[in-house]
Amino acid sequence: MIPEGKKKLWAKYQKEIAEDYYYYARSCIRQNFFPGSESTFLRILKGELGKSILDDPRHTTCTGIAYHTDLVPIETTMTVVARQFALMHEAGLENYVASCVTSFGIYTEILDLWHHNPEMEEKAHELLYKATKREFIKPKNLVHTSDIIYKFREEIAQKSKYRLINKETGEPLKVVEHIGCHYAKMFPHKGVGGAEYPHVLVGMIESWGGDVVDYPERRHCCGFGFRQYLVKANRGYSVSASKKKFESMAPYKPDFILSNCPGCAYFLDRWQYVIADMEGTTYDDKGYGIPSLTYEELAGLVLGYDPWDLGLQLHQVNVEPLLKKIGVEYDPDAKFSSKDGKDLGKPEKPEVLKY
Amino acid sequence: MVKFGFTTRKDSMIMLDKADLSLRRTLISEYPEYQLCINCGACSAVCTAAQLTSFNIREVKLNIDRGQTVSLKNEIAKCMICGKCEMICPKNVSNRKIVLLINKHLQEQHG
């Protein structure tokens, strides 16, 4: 990394991130993949930072997956987005926070569409009123949840219990950051640091003590293209894209991968299991794989939250080696116990990837 | 090893610096309009041979541009030289002429 040059570029792509009073829109898939991440985000915002955020049960999908797989027309997406904005307005809020990178891309795209085609915005008003008798007002501030954690990264660092430092060697942990394509590749000015040198995750890693790994396929897609993954016959493309990234990052011996997109965190985790069982390959020296975390999970770890409260037991690649490196205190026996002490059952043990 | 019903694919990186682009250069020198092709695929959409075989003239030209000419002889033999592609081309490129030139080149090279 050459910080001077990067800083110059990053400075070009700064965005306004509201200070407080947010309307929270959850991610459809993240609630299933890593449910602990979203609850941790709310816990950090309300408990640690004292912010006001509305977790509204009335909001729906943004239609992102259906939109990108050509199952719904743009008018439907536009009307659903308009309804979300109407709910935010009814709640007296004007700062919209999307938990999903695909949703963030959808909202950004629709706002851009309305900006360039005011008649489409007018049509959205008509369609929404016809369907729900609601009126909407566009958000004053639209951000992704990772933007919020980025904004308050120093506050989190000040409250931190752990740093991203190897407890035994005293060296900073080496972190691979992966930005979801829809965060800034479509609208570079809407992402902190732009599309080519996004700073949103780099900022967190550096503030919390880690070192960022710059590797050749850093900006390559994780492979979670909806058209690739949803059609089983095309899944080879998906796993191949992830494999390309793993092969590119492995020589740098990263301690973990950090992503800001639901699909990326999931596929960079699960495909390691698939590649291990399919081809007998793992991407670390000891056969444990490279843990793949979300930024809320990492923030939670840094703040000293219990790893099993963060939902780290839902990862396919074992996180315990990373917890040991950081020095996180945890109860190994509580990994697969529910909050009320019931046994949740263990996942099937992979043949190659150690678990 | 577990079978998942799909597999990983090997990287298909094409090194243009090392590729043999002599056929592309020959075609351009004999028929400069070759360069006007925008790879829109309209030619393939109307191609009669494509309805009966796996022939894809757009892909053939793309492969020539990348220096991938190993299967060229088999592919080009599928063309019926009907010329429908010429009629649809938005850039007025004559694929018929290109196919005839490729044939001529292949005969000169391989007999």
The tens digit of pLDDT for each residue in A73-89 reads 999 999 999 999 999 99
Core vs surface per residue A250-288: b (16+ CB within 10 A) or e: beeebbbbbbbbbbbbbbbbbbbbbbbbbeebbbbeeeb
Task: State residue A42 phi and psi, 5-degree precision.
Answer: -65, -40
What's the CATH class of domain A22-144?
Answer: mainly alpha
Cross-chain Cβ contact B9/A240 below 8 Å: yes
CB-based contact (8 Å) between A278 and chain B? yes
A31-84 pLDDT tens trace:
888 889 999 999 999 999 999 999 999 999 999 999 998 899 999 999 999 999
CB-based contact (8 Å) between A232 and chain B? yes
Q: Is residue B3 part of a domain?
A: no
Cross-chain Cβ contact B2/A243 below 8 Å: no
**Shortest Cα–Cα distance, B5 to chain A (Å):** 8
Q: Can you tell me the distance from the alpha carbon of A253 to that of A273, in angstroms, rounded to the nearest whole number?
A: 18
Q: Give which of A235, A271, A275 to mutate to test B binding, by max B Cβ within 10 Å.
A: A235
Q: Can you tell me the distance from the alpha carbon of A355 to that of A348, in angstroms, rounded to the nearest whole number?
A: 9
**Are A62 and A106 contacting, i.e. CB atoms less than 8 angstroms apart?**
yes
Per CB-CB distance under 8 Å, the chain B contacts of A272 are: none
Residue in A with minimal Cα distance to B9 = A240
A126-155 pLDDT tens trace:
999 999 999 999 999 999 999 999 999 999
Q: Is residue B81 part of a domain?
A: yes
Confidence of residue B40 (pLDDT cuts 50, 70, 90): very high
Which of A236, A244, A280 lies at the smallest CB-CB distance from B7? A236
CA A132, A136, A142, A146 torsion: positive or negative?
negative
CA atoms within 13 Å, Cβ hemisphere of A153: 21
A280-312 pLDDT tens trace:
999 999 999 999 999 999 999 999 999 999 999
Per CB-CB distance under 8 Å, the chain A contacts of B6 are: 232-236, 239
pLDDT at A83: 98
Architecture category of domain A161-334 in CATH:
3-Layer(aba) Sandwich (3.40)
Q: Can you tell me the distance from the alpha carbon of A159 to that of A50, in angstroms, rounded to the nearest whole number?
A: 13
Domains of chain B: total = 1
Q: Is residue B20 part of a domain?
A: no
For chain A, the domains span: 22-144, 161-334
- Domain of residue B102 covers 38-109
Q: Is residue B33 part of a domain?
A: no
Which of B2, B9, B11 lies at the smallest CB-CB distance from A278? B2
Cross-chain Cβ contact A235/B1 below 8 Å: no
B46-77 pLDDT tens trace:
999 999 999 999 999 999 999 999 999 999 99
Confidence of residue A2 (pLDDT cuts 50, 70, 90): low
Confidence of residue A3 (pLDDT cuts 50, 70, 90): low
Q: Is residue B26 part of a domain?
A: no
Structure tokens at A310: 């963060």
Which of A232, A278, A351 lies at the smallest CB-CB distance from B8? A278
Q: Can you tell me the distance from the alpha carbon of A96 to that of B47, in angstroms, rounded to the nearest whole number?
A: 50
Question: Strand order of the sheet with strand A174-178?
Answer: A211-212, A174-178, A256-259, A292-294
Cross-chain Cβ contact A280/B1 below 8 Å: yes
pTM of the predicted model as reported, rounded to 2 decimal places = 0.82
Which of A235, A277, A280 lies at the smallest CB-CB distance from B6? A235
Q: Is residue B7 part of a domain?
A: no
Cross-chain Cβ contact B7/A244 below 8 Å: no
